[in-house]
Chain A
Amino acid sequence: DAGVIQSPRHEVTEMGQEVTLRCKPISGHDYLFWYRQTMMRGLELLIYFNNNVPIDDSGMPEDRFSAKMPNASFSTLKIQPSEPRDSAVYFCASSFGIEQFFGPGTRLTVL
């Protein structure tokens, strides 16, 4: 298995633009998680899905952030409009059971 796949690996955009981050979980996993990592706040859980259904989105910072999981093999995290304070590394992880497997992350820079 290729593991959790995230794209793009790096994204540089200007303030106000829409950003879409993508994730392909490991086949057969029924949980998918989105995390954000910054120096100031560490690793934060944004939202997670179970069987494509959002279970807890209390970590989503504000309405500019949205996440979808249209099927078991794909999820997106969208930021619209983006702001410089959204600059971070965004990780996707999936699991079947207890252990979570992380993707390589998307490094987002908002200028």
Chain B
Amino acid sequence: AQSVAQPEDQVNVAEGNPLTVKCTYSVSGNPYLFWYVQYPNRGLQFLLKYITGDNLVKGSYGFEAEFNKSQTSFHLKKPSALVSDSALYFCAVMGNNDMRFGAGTRLTVKP
């Protein structure tokens, strides 16, 4: 069965600095990978996905993610963090039409 791991419960960065939220995955076959963001008292919002093609995927709000097959990773990145990026971020992998989510990483961007 497919699974994802988000090794960091929390990531803290200063506004304007680059941010990285880590994700590794395990899946048989070709991976379908996703990042979602959850703001307080809201549902999950789609950020980006990797299905095939370029390893660098660009998504919403200036986020991007790099697919690395050899390291089975799909880290989320942003060149310059905003305070408004503070939220809970979930990595997910899809197999057999169902999606498995990581435990989530809470990103805090401080002014």
Contacts and interface: CB of A to CB of B under 8 A. Distances in A.
Interface in A24-68: 31, 33, 42-43, 45, 48, 50, 55-56
B90 interface: yes
Contact of A104 (B34, B42, B90, B97): B42
A56 B102 CA distance: 19
Interface residues of B, number: 21
B97 A31 contact: yes
Given A43-B104, A98-B94, A91 B43 contact: yes
A48 B97 contact: yes
Main SS of the interface on chain A?
A: strand
A101 B98 contact: no
A103 B43 contact: yes
Nearest to B99: A100
Tell me which of B43, B46, B104 has the highest count of chain A C-beta atoms within 10 A of its own C-beta.
Answer: B43
**Interface residues of A toward B: which range?**
20 to 34
B44 A33 contact: no
Interface string A88-111: 000101000011111111000000
Contacts of A56: 96, 98
Contact of B98 (A43, A45, A91, A104): A45
A43 B37 CA distance: 13
Interface of B: 32, 34, 36, 42-46, 49, 51, 90, 94, 96-104
10 contacts: A42-B104, A48-B98, A50-B97, A55-B98, A93-B44, A99-B46, A102-B44, A102-B45, A105-B42, A105-B43
